[in-house]
């Protein structure tokens, strides 16, 4: 069983920054790839960023150059640094991982960017 707990969301003006955190427990964190997804009402959840267990990363085109995903294996934590935020970044942000071929999600943290 894996538990994921996100934090760090909030209300910010366009151009501002936020850092999201996701603390994982119940698994061998260092061997898991970790993802951040986001979702707005009526839309499918979309992949924002991914960090592999080896440290490689992937970003959606819409956030490339503005968002940075990182991990601290000693703290079982993955981060999403979000800079130059835009109103279209407004969404619920969810941490995700797969362990033993089972997908796990956190409860989400809301990010709202005002224009």
Q: Which pLDDT tens digit goes with each residue over 72-101? A: 989 999 999 999 999 999 999 999 999 888
Grouping H, G, I as helix, E, B as strand and the rest as coil, residue 38 is strand
Per-residue model confidence (pLDDT) at position 89: 98
Per-residue model confidence (pLDDT) at position 30: 64
SS3 content of the chain, % helix, strand, coil (to 5): 10, 55, 35
Give strand pairing partners of 67: 82
Count of other CB atoms within 10 angstroms of residue 76: 19
pLDDT, tens digit, for every residue of 10-44? Answer: 999 999 999 999 999 987 766 789 999 999 999 99
Per-residue model confidence (pLDDT) at position 99: 87
Tokens at 22, concatenated: 């996701």
Per-residue model confidence (pLDDT) at position 29: 67
CA distances from 111 to 30, 35, 60 (A): 27, 17, 17
pLDDT mean over 51-74: 96
Q: 107 vs 1, which has greater pLDDT? A: 107
Per-residue model confidence (pLDDT) at position 31: 73
């Amino acid at each position: 069983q894996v538990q994921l707990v996100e934090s760090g969301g909030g209300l910010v003006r366009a151009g501002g920054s936020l850092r999201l955190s996701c603390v994982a427990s119940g698994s061998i964190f260092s061997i898991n790839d970790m993802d951040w997804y986001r979702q707005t009402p009526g839309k499918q959840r979309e992949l924002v960023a991914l960090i592999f267990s080896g440290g490689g990363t992937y970003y959606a085109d819409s956030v490339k150059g503005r968002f940075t995903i990182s991990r601290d294996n000693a703290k079982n934590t993955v981060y999403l640094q979000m800079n130059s935020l835009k109103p279209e970044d407004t969404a619920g942000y969810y941490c995700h991982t797969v362990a033993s071929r089972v997908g796990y999600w956190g409860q989400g943290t809301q990010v709202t960017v005002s224009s």
